[in-house]
Amino acid sequence: MKKSVLVVLAAGLVGFTSCEKKQAVEATDAVEVTNQPSESASLFAVNTEKSNVEWRAFKFYESENKEAGHNGFFKFKSGEVGVENGVLTSGTFTIDVASLESLDLNDDPDSKAKLDGHLKSEDFLHVEKYPEATFVITSVKPIEGEYNTEISGNLKLREIEKNITVKANVSVEGDQLQLNSEEFSINRKDFGVNFEGKQGVVIRDNVALKVNILADKEVSVK
């Protein structure tokens, strides 16, 4: 089971990096969280070693009329989901923003370190002040098609909280839950990331994300 799960995650990474840029999901005002786990729910803890949030960001070089980009991932610091009758019903997640790492410059350690440092700086994520982001599920509903679940939740980044909705495939098998979202985009400026870049380089507002979660069953809520 563990081997097959790792294969799924690896395949998801390949698919993600080949995806085209998407229109940003709508970010609306945060809503009240009312879907707390009931007494009959089972709790699943996010496996932080086997879960991540993949990212891809883009820029445009005006003089060369060329699009370029970088990709990488964030780790989860913690997370817990509620499941009732085999169905995801709630969840709270903490993303370790300071864990940001790029992948496309692995062959150039100096450039990789420079990029990662800049993305963590005040120009972008300002991880010294905002080391974490959170996502709290506010609603879950089944859907048909390529993905089986629509998830809405409050995303809090740089102390700005917005409600977003994304699609995902969610499955519960025995003592393990797996969630793989669609590739979606958020507008960085909705969360206070307003850096414009140097002259002649346009940093795109939309940042593509893809969430991969493995969670292991804990105990039922009593």
Q: Of all helices (H) and strands (E), which one includes residue 56? A: strand 52-61
pLDDT at 63: 81
Model confidence, pTM: 0.87
Question: Is the model's pLDDT at 14 over the cut of 60?
Answer: no
Count of domains forming the chain: 1
DSSP result, 122-141? TTTT-TTT--EEEEEEEEEE
Looking at 52-144, list the stretches that DSSP marks H as alpha helix, in order from N- to C-terminal side: 109-119
- The pLDDT tens digits for 92-135 are 999 999 999 999 999 999 999 999 999 999 999 999 999 999 99
CATH of the domain at 20: 2.40.128.110
Which residue range(s) make up the domain with 62?
A: 2-220
Helices (H) then strands (E): counts for the chain: 2, 12
